[in-house]
Structure 1
Amino acid sequence: MAGMNAMEKKLAEYKCDTNEAICLKLVRFPEDVEDESTTFHPEYSHQLYGDDEVAFGYKGLQIQLYYTAGNLNTLFKVKYTSKVSEKFDCVEPDNVEGKIREIIPPGFTSNTDDFVALLEKEANFRPFGSLLHTYTVHGGEDGEDITYQIYKADMACPGFREYHARLQTFLMWFIETASFIDVDDERWTYFLVFEKYNKDGETLYATAAYMTVYNYYVYPDKTRPRVSQMLVLPPFQGEGHGAQLLEAVHRFYCTSPLVQDITAEDPSESYVKLRDFVLVKLCQPLSSFAPEQLSQGFSDAMATEAREKLKINKKHARRVYEILRLRVTDMSDEEKAKSYRLEVKRRLFGPYKKNQREMVKMKKCLRPEELASHISQMDTELQHQELEKSYQELLADYRRVIERLARI
């Protein structure tokens, strides 16, 4: 930091990490408001505060965004110990509050007492839409099972539009490339997970997770639901809700003859792992995926049965086959291991082969030095190394799915 003058040093003290400054809460009881252990923080705030995720102009900055657990009524408050403009002329603090106002809908309160009063109304809150599935997760504080319910909703549900506007603000903090959707487009369907809990002898509901699905039209008379965004709120992560939600959505669409298959928009690595687990779990009872069929290789019967019964496309069915085949293959048997490895590598090699075909086409129109640089990029030895690396990574992912299945 050499060369920083005294003024710059002073100003540097007024920088705050926005991921730390933003304090989020899902509040059930009045005492949660002051309880540090119920606070969680964003993973991302770059969409509002720039790539460095820093707010300038405040010391001890705290941006409180507290939500009632069910209906997500919002408390929004900005606190700090000192502000730069009170000490220095000509230096303006960032408009921290204005940035948050851009994403949270109007109707919030900035008064903690008013917010606590809103908690009383939570007893009247009921989940939106129609109930699809109920399940339990073991182990509350007293070791009792906790009940969760999955609902399907749309904008026609009274009050849902306003609720969704509050809910989607969480996307900004937990999905790196999040964007708000056009809620006036009727092809969106919403799936929500709620926890049922007791408070003073009454049953209440807390928002735990949600997913948006867009129903694309497929000629001539089908639709292709595409998972757009999926978020399990941080207090509920690591409990299997993502898998429950995705499975419930598949089961919901399975029954419709008009649905072609279910896809996902730009899926993250963690979503792909989740999907592998859910699809394998759904496919293992199918007759075409029986152990004796797996050793014969990937078949049209598998692709067809997965699509017709579970709305799984061919590419995903192929991954399911590879995972289930790995599970029944004795990898300590060299012959069996080699047979498995070659089959998976053949699929992985597809893109390289395509590349080589394109090279042959390019040869006709490239100057020799351009060709040399392209050919060196396609060095066979390098290809083999890349292929082996991809294969080992895939194997590690597949084994994680198999371990998770074993825990069911």
Structure 2
Amino acid sequence: MFLDLLIRRNPKFIEAAMALHQQGKIPANAYVLDLDAVERNARLFSDVARGHGLTTFAMTKQVGRHSGFCQAVMRGGISRSVAVDMACALACDRAGLRTGHLGHLVQVPRQEALFAAAKLRPDYWTVFSDNKAKEAADASARAEREQALMARIQTEGDTFYRGHEGGFDANDILAVADRLDALQGGRFAGITTFPALLFDQDARKVVPTPNLHTLNMAAEALARAGRTEIEINAPGTTSSAVLPALAEAGATQVEPGNGLHGTTPLHAVEDLPEDPAVLYLSEVSHHHGGKAYCFGGGLYIDPVFPKYQVRALVSSSPTISRSALRNVEIPDYSAIDYYAMIDSDSDQNPAPGDTVVFGFRGQAFVTRALVAGIKGVDSGMPELTSIENGFGDHVSWPGAFAQ
């Protein structure tokens, strides 16, 4: 879905990644990042957000919490992360990107609360229930600090992905705020939901979900009760293009993830300011039954779009020529993605060792793919920065020994 965008708007990145793979410097089954483009995107986003009075927390899970990504985001002016889980918080913190928001989407496990409070010291900590609020506050009290708590709220008719459900009843927000304020070690700081925005496939635009209205209603109730200085965290499908609408809706915090590497759904249908800065790279392994099989491991295509014909650039040398485009069959989600199958019924069949480049909206942290950072693409002197796994740990890639 995003390969055409990459070819049009960041062709040097594709060619750099292919060249480094052919030189043996980037492994197959790797998400590859253009770190210079990430830095530009982060700077653009943070400038627009700041102009609308919005605080930005960077989401890093989609690119495997890569340390180079975290550092590029910081150079671009975003100093805090939103951690989808504790593994995310640990990786970002290790890279120097401190925790701005913890506990949303995934709550902090009970036995990890003290570490989160004492070591990570998040600016904001989201809780879904009184039990989780007490755990966060108790841990913070033991760490001799007061934690700003965000209440995740919901009401009938709100939109949730299956398995994401949970939160306080929005109709009880005044009582919830009082209960959180009464906790030793904690204080009520604001409200959040997910998703506040979603891409509408038919309209081909980003639209508010019922959850955003729920946030608005809760904020109005809090304001009538005298609680006017609260944070309103409104994540979901966040690019710089939607920031004016979020600010107008009352949001105070935004959390770009795919927006920082130019792969929100809106980027696929409209040229937005952020450049595409991530691709998935593989390599042809063997042939069978008229197909060329390429290595998998990271072929998780975020199902934000209906199924579509996946295509890839396949070549033994760097290219963005559309003659190198091939149709590819991706294994069903119920199968392990050991390989993908490339059409090879032509005069120029892909050969084992050829580079394969995909452009899709990925989620590196749920795969077994590696993540590689590149700098210097625009200068014409690209170089690999590091290869890491989905937890942001540096990896000694076996191919490096062949250099």
Q: TM over 0.5: same fold?
A: no
The structure with higher relative contact order (CA 8 Å, sep 6+) is 2
Please, what TM-score do these two structures have when normalized by structure 1?
0.25
Q: Which has the larger radius of gyration?
A: 1
Query: Which has more helix, going by share of residues?
Result: 1
